[in-house]
């Protein structure tokens, strides 16, 4: 991200909430969302921890859409570099932090931890996947033709695709407001940014990187996640070099912070307590 005349933290809407004595916790959202994704769990976390939130450059919450350059952000590496720069700017390099990454941000956090392991005390990976396309020895959840069709739908009619994808991803038919929250957030993205980031996400393959992760990890998986099969959590645990544990949050869909915030807080509290 090229920032002219203003700090990266300002451009990314970064803010710090809480002043608890516990670990500093960095929350990173995924594709189609922004930092409001964490609203249901933020008050509780902020009572115990210093919590850092921000918006990725592709987010509809970022005021200057020119900050997102599809050519630059053609891989997760550029996002990881932004994360590192943001943490340094906010003086998080003085003591290691716990990074909580949802969806694509989980792998971004892993990459950043490989580049700068001293910045991280623990990685908490929610709905993480190193690869979304199936192969002979790996279940990613999508055939290549399904990914191509998904990307074509985004390119042809982004808003129609978003309206159809949101209920599948949230998977909360009894609470349409949660579906609406994600849908509205997703539709605030520019169609061009949405397509560019979706291409990076759904065509990514970071399986070979996992053995380089040396920071302890907590892997959080939900059943019936349209984007990430149950088997991926075990795959991550087996491939990550560092000590890692798998926690299942019993709520369907890709967004436990929306559909099961209390249960997610319990899991987060356990992971954070393990580092004391």
Which residue numbers are catalytic?
A: 103, 225, 254
Task: Tell me how many degrees the CA angle 21-23-27 measures, rounded to the nearest 5.
Answer: 125
Check: CB of residue 99 under 8 Å from CB of residue 75: no
Check: CB of residue 31 under 8 Å from CB of residue 197: yes
Beta-ladder partners of 246: 219
Judged by phi (left if over 0) then psi (alpha if -120 to 50, else beta), residue 271 lies in alpha
Check: CB of residue 126 under 8 Å from CB of residue 217: no
Using the structure block, give the residue that is written with the tokens 């956090």: 109
Measured over the CA atoms of residue 8, residue 128, residue 235 and residue 70, the dihedral's sign is negative
237-241 LR contacts (CB < 8 Å, sep 24+) = 239/130, 239/207, 239/210, 239/211, 240/110, 240/210, 240/211, 240/213, 241/210, 241/211, 241/212, 241/213, 241/214
**CA–CA separation, 73 vs 212, rounded Å?**
22
**CA–CA separation, 108 vs 231, rounded Å?**
20
């Amino acid at each position: 991200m090229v920032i002219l005349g203003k700090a990266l933290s300002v451009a990314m809407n970064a803010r710090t909430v809480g002043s608890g004595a516990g670990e500093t916790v960095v929350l990173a959202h995924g594709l189609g969302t922004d930092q409001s994704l964490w609203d249901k769990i933020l008050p509780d976390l902020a009572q115990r921890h210093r919590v850092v939130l921000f918006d990725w450059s592709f987010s509809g919450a970022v005021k200057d859409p020119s900050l997102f350059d599809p050519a630059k952000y053609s891989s997760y590496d550029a996002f990881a570099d932004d994360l590192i720069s943001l943490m340094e700017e906010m003086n998080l390099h003085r003591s290691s932090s716990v990074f909580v990454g949802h969806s694509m941000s989980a792998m971004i956090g892993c990459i950043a931890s490989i580049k700068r392991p001293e910045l991280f005390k623990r990685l908490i990976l929610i709905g993480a996947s190193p690869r979304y396309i199936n192969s002979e020895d790996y279940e990613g959840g999508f055939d290549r033709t399904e990914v191509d069709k998904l990307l074509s739908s985004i390119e042809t009619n982004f808003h129609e695709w978003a309206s159809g994808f949101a209920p599948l991803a949230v998977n909360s038919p009894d609470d349409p407001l949660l579906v609406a929250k994600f849908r509205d957030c997703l539709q605030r993205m520019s169609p061009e940014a949405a397509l560019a980031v979706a291409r990076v996400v759904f065509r990514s393959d970071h399986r070979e990187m996992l053995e380089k992760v040396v920071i302890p990890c907590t892997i959080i998986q939900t059943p019936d996640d349209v984007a990430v099969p149950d088997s991926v959590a075990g795959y991550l645990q087996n491939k990550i070099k560092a000590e890692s544990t798998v926690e299942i949050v019993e709520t369907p869909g890709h967004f436990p912070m929306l559909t099961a915030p209390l249960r997610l807080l319990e899991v987060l509290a356990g992971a954070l307590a393990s580092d004391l």
